[in-house]
Amino acid sequence: MLTRDTRDPATRPRLLLTLLALALLWPGIHFSELDLSVLMASDSQSEMGRFVSAFWPPAHGEEFIELLVQATLQTLAIATAGMALALLLAVPASLLASRALSLSAASRAGHPSYWGQLLRWPVRGLLIFLRSVPEIVWALLFVRAVGLGPTAGVLAIAITYSGMLGKVYAEIFESIDQRPAHALLQAGSGRLAAFFYGILPNVAAELLSYTVYRWECAIRASVVMGFVGAGGLGQQMDLSLRMFAGGEVASLLLTFLVLVLLADQLSRLLRWRLA
């Protein structure tokens, strides 16, 4: 009698899931050849120490600062232009891929019709393809096609990020309460109008925060792509690392820090304005 009173049907699945997660973690550590003891070895420690000690003081010569400002502006421009291009593709694709705008779902308790689901697959496939190739690979490709410089970086970000943004936007649209949009569809409204009146008000803050976060990621990605010749802070970083100019590397890293900090503050500001 007692066991029946205290039984929770969710206990067993939860326990099993925890065990499963632990069981999956072990091969993960094994296959990634993670070996923390390497960090403790004395020669690698002194090697890292020497490199890091050269970081101080950060380079602040007038000429270098000028270069730094130039490179920062270029990085920001690459990230922003790349995001803008990505949005051009991501917004329509997310609307097409999302079940939230399904007219059939509105009269089938949220389950879209078989045909609707089938038609959504090509769009989903396109988004998967766009984001499955890393931006660095696109950048290498475009550097060959359009030559060294920021254009390659912009195109690479636009392509990869349109895939990511489209997928996540579509999922954000589906994650909220669908009843407002369904009610509008049931009152004869068109799909896009139902989206703007029934879904957008609820997702705006989340969309904004994700977009700003992705913009921040695009800044970092544009840095990485600088290493393969796509301009901006990354290219400068590549040069400084090659010349073992620790001070310059430190200045560049500080600039990244400031950029990420600014992106964070911007996101907070926008969310606060929208709340």
Partner 1 sequence: MTLHLTQVNLTHANGVQALRGVDLHIGASEQVAIIGPSGAGKSSLLNLLATALRPDNGELQVLGERAWQLSARQRQRLRARIGLIHQAPPLPPRQRVVTAVLAGKLGQWGLGKSLLNLLRPVDVPGARAALARLDLSDKLFAHCQQLSGGQLQRVGIARVLYQAPEVLLADEPVSAMDPVLAEHTLSVLCRHARKHNVTLVASLHAVELALAHFSRIIGLRDGQILFDLAASEVDRELLDKLYANEQLQSPPITPAPLSVQIPRC
Q: Site residues (CB under 8 A) for partner 1?
A: 103, 106-111, 177, 179-180, 182-190, 192-194, 196-199, 201-202, 204
Q: Give the nearest distance from C-beta 183 to partner 1 in angstroms.
A: 4
Nearer to partner 1, 77 or 208 (CB): 208
Residue 196 C-beta: closest distance to partner 1, Å: 6
CB of 199 to partner 1, least distance (A): 8
Instruction: Quote the least distance from Cβ 79 to partner 1, whole Å.
Output: 29
The one-letter amino acid code at 135 reads E
CB of 14 vs partner 1, minimal distance in Å: 24
User: How far is Cα 137 from Cα 106, in angstroms, rounded to an integer?
Assistant: 41
Give the list of residues 6+ apart from residue 115 with CB closer than 8 angstroms, or none.
none
Considering the complex, what minimum distance in angstroms separates the CB of residue 106 from partner 1? 7
Residue among 65 and 200 whose Cβ is closer to partner 1:
200
27 vs 188, which CB is nearer to partner 1? 188
Q: In this complex, which beta carbon is closest to partner 1, that of residue 55 or of residue 196?
A: 196
Considering the complex, state which of residue 130 and residue 181 has its C-beta at the smaller distance from partner 1: 181
Nearer to partner 1, 193 or 261 (CB): 193
Measured from the Cβ of residue 30, the count of other Cβ atoms closer than 10 Å reads: 9
